[in-house]
């Protein structure tokens, strides 16, 4: 019986899998790698993994679909998303699925070890969340902050769009009035100069 924690790394870049294997094997983990989502799903049918890492952008089945399938089959398995494409949309979608975290490329040995420990400890710290895993609070906060920022930009643009005709109208009305005022002022000054000189 294998007592080592079982780790699966899914990434179409073989270098990523080798990096995880090199770092985690020395720390007592048993690391398996898959180059595609399809290959990973076959592995998951025969092995109970303690933590799964998946790249988000892969040919064929992407990391979001892989996460959906893993969570449908083994909702208690921590899944960490590896991404070089850290878009708010992808992170929001993955958070809804209950990923245990995100890790961005490039990866260092410290990042690999720390995120693995964090993912393995999370289910122990939150047993009530086993059936409905939630994203870490920091990830949810980041998603909410991004959504608020986007909403603020949209509201500002809508406001400017609505105000633009009125601003233009104000310029059209004000320009002749300002011109007339300046013309009248110059005329009065010229008249007063002429009057004072005579």
Q: Are 54 and 40 in contact (CB under 8 A)?
A: yes
Q: In this predicted model, what pLDDT tens digit does every residue of 100-114 receive, in sequence order? A: 778 888 889 999 999
CB burial of residue 66 (10 Å; 0-12, 13-18, 19+):
buried
Entry pTM = 0.57
Looking at residue 13, its pLDDT comes to 87
Closest CA to 148 of 64, 135, 100, 140: 140
Q: Are 33 and 17 in contact (CB under 8 A)?
A: yes
């Amino acid at each position: 019986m294998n007592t080592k924690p079982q780790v699966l790394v899914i990434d179409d870049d073989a270098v990523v899998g080798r990096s995880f294997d090199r770092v985690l094997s020395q720390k007592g983990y048993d690391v398996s790698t898959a180059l595609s989502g399809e290959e990973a799903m076959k592995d998951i049918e025969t092995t109970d993994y303690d933590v799964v890492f998946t790249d988000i952008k892969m040919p064929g089945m992407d990391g979001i679909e892989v996460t959906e399938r893993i969570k449908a089959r083994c909702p208690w398995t921590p899944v960490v998303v590896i991404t070089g494409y850290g878009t708010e949309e992808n992170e929001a979608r993955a958070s809804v699925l209950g990923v245990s975290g995100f890790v961005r490329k490039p990866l260092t040995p410290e990042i690999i070890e720390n995120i693995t420990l964090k993912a393995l400890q999370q289910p122990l710290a939150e047993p009530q969340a086993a059936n409905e895993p939630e994203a870490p609070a920091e990830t949810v906060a980041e998603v909410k902050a991004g959504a608020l920022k986007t909403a603020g930009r949209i509201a500002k643009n809508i406001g400017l769009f609505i105000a633009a005709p009125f601003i233009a109208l104000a310029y059209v009305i004000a320009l002749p009035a300002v011109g007339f005022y300046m013309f009248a002022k110059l005329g009065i000054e010229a008249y007063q100069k002429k009057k004072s000189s005579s």
